[in-house]
Structures are given as structure tokens and as C-alpha cells.
Amino acid sequence: MRHWLVIDLEATTDEGGWPLQEMEIIEIGASLATRDGREVAHFQRYVRPVRRPCLTSFCKALTHIEQARIDRAGTLAQLWPTFEAWLRDQGSRLAGWASWGDYDRCQLEQEWHAQGLHSRLQQLPHVNLKQSFASRRQLLRPVGLNMALGLAGLHFQGRQHQALEDARNAARLLPLALPQ
């Protein structure tokens, strides 16, 4: 059986929002799930940003990530091999990867390029679940994850803006969002 990897990232930001080029990953959450949305494995790590290692008050309030947790974390360059090893351990069961929206893909691609990192994900198809869900539901425009769950008759499980919880909730929508 082939599985899908749903990834969600939390990143540095401030109240007005920052351009993608100024944001850095502070948490990676990944849920490996069947096409029907059942999780079979997961990965979660905090990441210490390099350019702006001190989180803003807004970022800490939004993500509920404490500065001490970030201070103890490794950088993305230090942690990425751990993620790749975890991904390799999942074998050839991976059909592709997905995220709710395109931000996570763009952020990862930016970080991979900036830090000279390579990923197995670069060879796999990516699905923007937010766009795909809107298309399959014939919505006038894409909606946020919480709204999509509501439209599917589901409730958000866990706390929003925590990478693994967001990834798990997006994975629950795989049967309604993956292209046929």
C-alpha cells in the first residue's frame, strides 16, 4: 500500500507577517498516512533558526513554542539527516507528499537551497491539499484547514499552529483532497 506524507511547518514571524525569504522553520511535523487518512507513522522536531534565533512574542503566542525549546533544538542542517533517515525507514511506500497550501513546500525548497540540503521529497510529487480540496468540493476559493474540516463534518483535533497536529488534521482530509 502506498502512503502520503503530509508536512506542516511552523516558522519565525511577527504580527505583520514576514516575507517568505525572512522566515525560518522552527518546527517540522509530518504525518505518514494512507490515502484514506489513517496515520501509520509520524515525525516531529523543533528547529533552531539561524538568522533570527530569538522568537518574537507574537510567534511564541501563535505557536505555543517556548524559546527554551528552540534554544535546545538543532538547526535545520543538523536535523535534516534525521528526517531523511526516518523517511528512508518508511521504505518505498511513499506515493508523494502534501501540505495544506503551498507555503510549506516553498519554505522547504527555500531552506534546502539556502543550506545546500537534499531531500528525497524533491523527487516526489507534491499536492497542495488546500487547492485540491477546493477543486474537488467545487468551492469558489480555497479555505483554511479548520474550515475544510468543518465542511467535511470533522473537528480540529489538538491545538492549531502546532506542526504535527496541523499535519495530522490535514492528513484526515486526504480522502477528500487528493486528486482522484
In the chain, what are the domains?
3-170 (3.30.420.10)
- Average pLDDT of 94-112? 96
Least reliable range by pLDDT among 59-73, 81-95, 131-145, 159-173 = 81-95
Q: What is the pLDDT of residue 1?
A: 67
d(Cα 160, Cα 140) in Å, to the nearest integer?
Answer: 24
- CA angle, residues 44, 47, 50, in degrees to nearest 5: 165
For residues 56 and 13, is the Cβ–Cβ distance under 8 A? yes
Is the pLDDT assigned to residue 142 strictly greater than 70?
yes
β-pairing verdict for 3-11 and 25-34: antiparallel
- Average pLDDT of 118-139? 96
Q: What is the pLDDT of residue 45?
A: 98
For residues 26 and 63, is the Cβ–Cβ distance under 8 A? yes
Q: What is the pLDDT of residue 165?
A: 98
- Give the bridge partners for 98, in sequence order: 6, 127
The separation between the first and the last C-alpha atoms of the chain, rounded to the nearest angstrom, is 16
For residues 6 and 97, is the Cβ–Cβ distance under 8 A? yes
Q: How big, in percent rounded to 5, are the helix, strand and coil portions of the chain? A: 40, 20, 40
Question: What are the pLDDT digits (tens) for 13-53?
Answer: 998 888 888 999 999 999 999 999 999 999 999 999 999 99
The closest alpha carbon to 47, from 10, 21, 19, belongs to: 10
At 6, give phi and psi (nearest 5°). -105, 125
